[in-house]
Structure 1
């Protein structure tokens, strides 16, 4: 019902921001020139930077899509965060022009001052412009609306509408239609039963009906639609998917005549995101395999010959993307024939030889897994793969455990970057780790991967107490 309004609001607000940026650029230039704060070079090409500001405005508009549902009711915190993103994009475009053209005539002080003034203007614009636009375009369209829904759904639906005043402008819910033997705890008046649809629409001069799909059969829905068409009344059907999923957030996808609902968003389902992540994996893994892995492998082999003769690598089957099995590579850190391979390593574990303890604490035993990254079985960052036996055990503790296999496993992960490493000694630790894994899957971004990698490098030099 609100899709067109949301898209229109995003477009119109984006246009107002672009106009604001351009007008402020011209105004700021005229102001600093008039007061003599900055002496402009005669050779500076202001039109080029004005054009760059227009292009940056288009990029800013694209960035509004992530705020489309909240645009119009942003708090100051959201307005500041959105403005920070917008200023970053405009700054990138302007200074890219400076670098590419090697322009020494434009004043950097002028550009920085402009960005500072624009930042304040954008915060105010993001806070106040969208509701003004919504009131102007939507508020005047009076739609007297009747809701046809089960009694238990009515109040929740009306509450949902009231939480979106910027998009619900002009929609006046005058009452609801439902079964007489199902009283609802609602402030709305019940106007009749489903047999009274025609009478209610005529008596109350309704121009829109909102119908819950859970309330009508296909035949009854056809009847309501015919009555609405005869009376020149809009009819929209809705489905409250939350009744099947509780309070957990869900994602709804529309494909032609079908609607699909899932419990979580998956950014890595997007092909472009997959390409970005794969390129980052290769860029990181290739230098490690070529430059770091060979000398480290020689050092580990020599120390093993001294302290714990045996195979250089310890290889095991693990579950990867979509629970496909693959062979993971690690430097061997335990003595050969130590037994109890499925038991997690604990603090002061006697099975670990001295140099192996150092490798584990510094996470250097994981370096061979960059081979797994190049082979495509793993990613540099993602949920850590556990032993197959532990997968089954942990799945009994955390119901949604196997959802972590929606993405490739990683050498490091969000949980590890937060210090959750080593032995899982109690269920609460497992739940926290899996919670971070699920957060990673839902909110993946290239910047999140870079943050995880940076934190992991820091842990190599300053390992957490749980690393052993």
Structure 2
């Protein structure tokens, strides 16, 4: 249902097309120089990114942040006229240049109107929707219902749960009934009125949401339920606390991370895998029968399964999809030991990164059987599936890679994975990549 990752790049492209087309057609003499073209485009990008202009919020409308929009046009106008102040060749009068600027403003406004109109129509026809329920009822329920009942915002309000019975057609049952209903009816967002629950009940609801990949938003009071990743949203005048949000869900982070993934994976595929793959193919044929690549179903973002690729490091065996490699594992071939010790066996996963199933950095993907085991036995295990899995991750550079010997190994791995999802930055990714390379060169105790 979520196709919003394309919204920002499309908007950027449309705006730049408007600016460049208008200047090319109306002011070709001053436009057709490399420095001027670069100037116009860079100025627009710098201003929009500085203002955090492009819309990413579900509830944003045409009239939302109009002040920011006018500020954008004003700053771009100042930059537009400033160029003529430094390079005034007298070809165009001030009045003509001003009319060109107004043309740009007009078409940018037309696009803004068209964008919100098309998004509204798409949602009215059932696209890009989210199923929501409310747990608890007080005076704020009616107010927040006014938000949910606006179809252009893409919410599908299913009803509310409360221990006090109601004749309302949207009453779904007592609060304890919500857990079964949420799982059986594909609910995306849970809105909780904190004043109706005890602290213990709130904590249980938070845990339930984390362990079942549901987004929990709390209409707060003073129950002291706080997390490091908590943030406030406003529904009209009602503050709502969202308990878990990754930096990768906001602003331009997904585009930055995906761009980095494509560039980095392309570099590795062209400069390393292009010659290493045929070389390993020849060496493996001398040692053991079987394919060059080993592929295995693993769980990725939102727990969706994908084929994860590695260089084969073991002889064919029936336990490959259920039993992790252990120390002195007899299944590992001689070449396989070298590949696993240096982590070279993981390099084909850059193909997964290029295809979009994985990221260079993120929580390591687990076998399907292990996900099914840990999601019921390890608290908050599924939180790691809010982001794409990675070839390397924070847990791996902290020593929690490979075989799970005791429960603390998987608990600490999940703790670092959750910290990563809540603290992502490009700088953090780069530091993890650097330390991964350093550890591979030095050799790691659990690389077997």
**Normalising by structure 1, what TM-score?**
0.48
**Normalising by structure 2, what TM-score?**
0.50
